[in-house]
Amino acid sequence: MEGPDIKEVLECSETEVLSIEPDEVREILEEGGERKAYGDLFGMNILVVEDNEINREIVKLVLEKAGASVTLAGNGRIGTEAFAASERDAFDCVLMDLSMPVMSGFEAARAIRGMKRADAGTVPIIALSSDSSEEDVQKALGSGMNEHLAKPVDIVKLYRTLRSLK
């Protein structure tokens, strides 16, 4: 697995859904830098819960380019239903937007954590939020999430965070 195409990553970065710093671009373009920066997410199954369709598709693109399988959900309720309907340990991680209609990411995380199945308490849930205040981070952690990544999401940090779950 060679990782994502740097041109596609840069195009995604321009949408302000993801971010990448110029130094990271240089690192990725160096021989072997792409693999070093992104690692290999092959075999990971990730549930992406995000209400903005463009954001969902961009996150899906960059995760799949690194080898992950992605299931998309358009709001917290759909995300919790997808998790509930899945087989035990089907997802290695949930990427959860916090501000969504129908059911917020905070509510969805609490709903997943409250499910009566073993993986509901252990699946990593990573918040994705445009609000990166300490209060927002603490609220995310208090609702059962493991990590908080600010939007636009630093793509290198996203990949490194996911790689650490493998």
What are the residue boundaries of the structural domains of the chain, listed by start? 42-153+161-165
**Is the pTM for the entire model greater than 0.75?**
yes
Looking at CATH, the fold of the domain delimited by 42-153+161-165 is given as: Rossmann fold (3.40.50)
CA 89/CA 91 separation, integer angstroms? 5
Task: Render 96-132 in DSSP notation, one character per residue.
Answer: EESS-SSS-HHHHHHHHHTSSSGGGGTS-EEEEES--
Q: Which of 124, 12, 130 is nearest to 65 (CA)?
A: 12
Residue 104 confidence (pLDDT): 95
Alpha helices for 30-86 (secondary structure H): 33-38, 53-65, 76-85
Confidence tier at 13 by pLDDT (50, 70, 90): low
Q: Which of 81, 69, 73 is nearest to 112 (CA)?
A: 81
* Mean pLDDT to the nearest integer, 81-108: 96
Is 13 or 138 the better-scoring residue by pLDDT?
Answer: 138
* Mean pLDDT to the nearest integer, 94-119: 96
Residues 49/96, Cβ–Cβ less than 8 Å: yes
Q: Check pLDDT > 80 for residue 55.
A: yes
- pLDDT averaged over the chain? 82
* Mean pLDDT to the nearest integer, 25-32: 48
pLDDT in tens, 66-83: 889 999 999 999 999 999
Alpha-carbon torsion, ordered 149, 153, 36, 67, to 10 deg:
100
26-35, 114-123, 130-139: least confident range: 26-35
DSSP conformational letter for 82: H
Confidence tier at 91 by pLDDT (50, 70, 90): very high
Confidence tier at 31 by pLDDT (50, 70, 90): very low
Is 159 or 140 the better-scoring residue by pLDDT?
Answer: 140
Q: Check pLDDT > 60 for residue 62.
A: yes
Whole-angstrom CA distances from 46 to 7, 25, 103, 156 are 23, 25, 19, 17
